[in-house]
Structure 1
Amino acid sequence: MRKVEVTSYDGDWPMKFEEESKQLHHIFGSEMIEIHHIGSTSVKGLKAKPIIDIMPVVKNISWIDKFDAEMINIGYEPKGENGISDRRFFQKGGDDRTHHVHVYERGDPEIKRHLAFRDYLRKHPDILKNYGDLKEELSNLFPNDIESYIKGKAQMVSEIESKALVWYQGFKS
């Protein structure tokens, strides 16, 4: 059973992203256009589940399945789309997850959503604090119930996401 654990920001998370991204560059090679550290571990100062979320952006999503064996060799479990159309998802660490890899094809709107959310939190410390506090509170309320944890933060995530997308569009224009 997965335990829901939210910890204080760990300064080693960016290094863990860099280490893993080197392996992913090696596996995906020229198919990969860019790679991003996303999710809560990518936001300095944000409390988070200690799982490094990585988002490779690739030329053709349909070719990614051919890398499943290589991903398995470095400890990942291929999960296919895992509920999000046109994504390939990999997780590492079983019930004690350490990494999630979310692969999208260039131009997918999910890329902008992830980057907007991350960058918005980086620039808005008051929202970052409120979001981190909620996550910590929910992890204490639901230490063995990931679904309730996710449901508990859904409204705040949706509100932040809406503001972030408007902000990001203005920021990137």
Structure 2
Amino acid sequence: MIAKPIVDLDIIIENYDRLPEVVTKLNGLGYIHQLQWSFKGREAFENLNEKSTCLSNRIKHHLYVCDENSMELKNRLDFRDYLRTHPKAVEEYNHLKTCLVTSKSTRAEYTEGKTKFISNILHKIRKNKLDRNY
């Protein structure tokens, strides 16, 4: 699959009450909590040390902290698993991401551009699970 040269990393915590402790520990490692990219179930962090050491001055990974019971984590894993078994969807997703990158979109525009595609896949997954239960 086509991807930006940025890896998404998830730290999974057993419950959201542990988040303040995790934020403190990550701060000690040079990570800053990015509230503008966070929401309940998936908290985003930026490594300030990485920006100063990268030759291109660009980040190499996104770090997220997810509650193990969050819908966001479930969605991320379900979407990943769907792409692993649906090569046509991978082709479509690759095309979409290539178009978004070549249009010089911002991070917010890039993310927003992928949201509809991802939401449609998640809807298919949920519908399929419901159909199998009847």
Is TM more than 0.5 here? yes
Once the 2 structures are TM-superposed, how far is the Cα of residue 71 of structure 1 from its aligned partner? 1.7
- Unaligned runs of 5+ residues in structure 1 are 1-45
- Deviation, structure 1 residue 156: 1.7
Tell me whether 1:163 sits opposite 2:90 in the alignment: no
1:168 Cα offset (Å): 6.5
| Distance in 2 (alpha carbons) for counterparts of 1:129 and 1:72 | 38
Q: Is contact 1:88-1:104 (8 Å) kept?
A: yes
Judged with a 3 Å threshold, the aligned counterparts in structure 2 of structure 1 residues 100 and 148 are, in CA distance, closer, same or farther, namely closer
Cα distance per residue 1:107-144 (max 9 Å; x no partner): 2222211110000011101110110111012101125x
Distance 1:106 1:170, change over 3 A: farther
The residue type paired with residue 131 of structure 1 is Y
1:154 paired with 2:110, answer: no
Aligned to 1:61: 16
User: Residues 71-86 of structure 1 correspond to what in structure 2 (within 5 A)?
Assistant: 71-80=26-35, 82-86=37-41
2:86 paired residue among 100, 115, 124: 124
1:102 to 60, 64, 70: 64
- State the SS of the aligned residue for 1:91: strand
Shift of 1:152: 2.8
> 2:97 matched to 1:135?
yes
- Structure 2 alignment gaps of length 5 or more: 52-56
The verdict on how the C-alpha distance between 1:110 and 1:86 changes in structure 2, with shifts beyond 3 A counting, is: closer
- Deviating beyond 6 angstroms after TM superposition, the runs of 4 or more aligned structure 1 residues are 168-171
Aligned partners of 1:151 and 1:101: how far apart in 2?
A: 19
What is the CA deviation profile of residues 4-31 of structure 1, one whole-angstrom value per residue up to 9, with x for unaligned ones?
A: xxxxxxxxxxxxxxxxxxxxxxxxxxxx
Report the alpha carbon displacement of residue 167 of structure 1 after superposing the two structures with TM: 4.8
Q: How many pairs were matched up? A: 125
Displacement after TM superposition at 1:84 (Å): 1.1
1:13 is matched with which residue?
none
The Cα of 1:66 is off from its aligned counterpart by 2.0
Contact 2:41-2:71 at 8 Å conserved across structures: no
What's the counterpart of residue 7 of structure 1? none
| Structure with the largest fraction of strand | 2
Instruction: Give me the identity figure in percent.
Output: 27
